[in-house]
Amino acid sequence: MRNIRVGVTSIVLLCVACTAMPNGRAIDCAAARKISDSFMAALVANNLNDAVNLMEPDFVQKLGRAQAEAAIRNLFDYCGRPIDSEFKHDETGFKVYLDGHKNPMRKFYYAATTDQNAKGVCFFSVSVVPYQTGLKVTEYGPLKLQTATLPDWAK
C-alpha cells in the first residue's frame, strides 16, 4: 500500500511540475508574430541594426552591438541572406537560459529565398520571449534542407 502511495504521489508531483513550467501559449501569438515578422523583414532588408534592436538586450550587451550584428551576418554563411520570407509554422515551448531560469517562448518558422538558395531549401526560425514589459527575439537561426522530405508545415 505504501508503494502505491509513493508511486501515485510521484506521478501527481510530476504532473504539477509539468503544468507549472512556463509555456509559450501564455504569450499573445499575434504580438509575438509581429515581432518575429519585423525581425525577418529587417534581415530581408539587410538592416541588421533594426534586427539587433528587436533582440533581448542581454545578448547585445554581452557581445556589443557590432559583434551582435556580425554574429547574425555569420549565420548567413550557412544558408545565405534571406531576400524574401514566407511564414510557415509556429510552435510554443520554453527557453532554458544558462543560469537555469526558464522563459515561455513562441518559435516561428519562415521559408525564404536566399542569395544562395531557392525557396524551400532554407528555412529560418525566430524565437520570441517576454522581456520586461514587451517581447523580444531571443534566438534566430537558419535551417537547411538536408533530405528531400519536408515536414507538412514546410510545404
pLDDT one-digit tens code per residue, 20-76: 556 778 899 999 999 999 999 999 999 999 999 999 998 889 999 999 999 999 999
- Residue 3 counted as domain residue: no
Specify the pLDDT at position 24: 72
Task: Confirm whether pTM is higher than 0.75.
Answer: yes
pLDDT band at 129 (very low <50, low <70, confident <90, very high): very high
Q: How far is CA 51 from the centre of its chain?
A: 14
Number of structural domains found in the chain: 1
- Residue 4 counted as domain residue: no
Specify the pLDDT at position 14: 41
The DSSP string of 46-106 is T-HHHHHHTB-HHHHHHH-HHHHHHHHHHHHHHH--BS--EEEEEEEEEEE-TTS-EEEEE
- Residue 5 counted as domain residue: no
- Residue 7 counted as domain residue: no
- Residue 16 counted as domain residue: no
* CATH code of 115's domain: 3.10.450
Please answer whether residues 114 and 81 qualify as being in contact, where contact means their C-beta atoms are separated by less than 8 angstroms.
Answer: yes
The count of residues in the chain is: 155
Task: Determine the structural domain holding residue 57 and report its residue range.
Answer: 23-154
pLDDT band at 93 (very low <50, low <70, confident <90, very high): very high
pLDDT greater than 70 at residue 2: no
Distance CA 41, CA 38 (A): 5
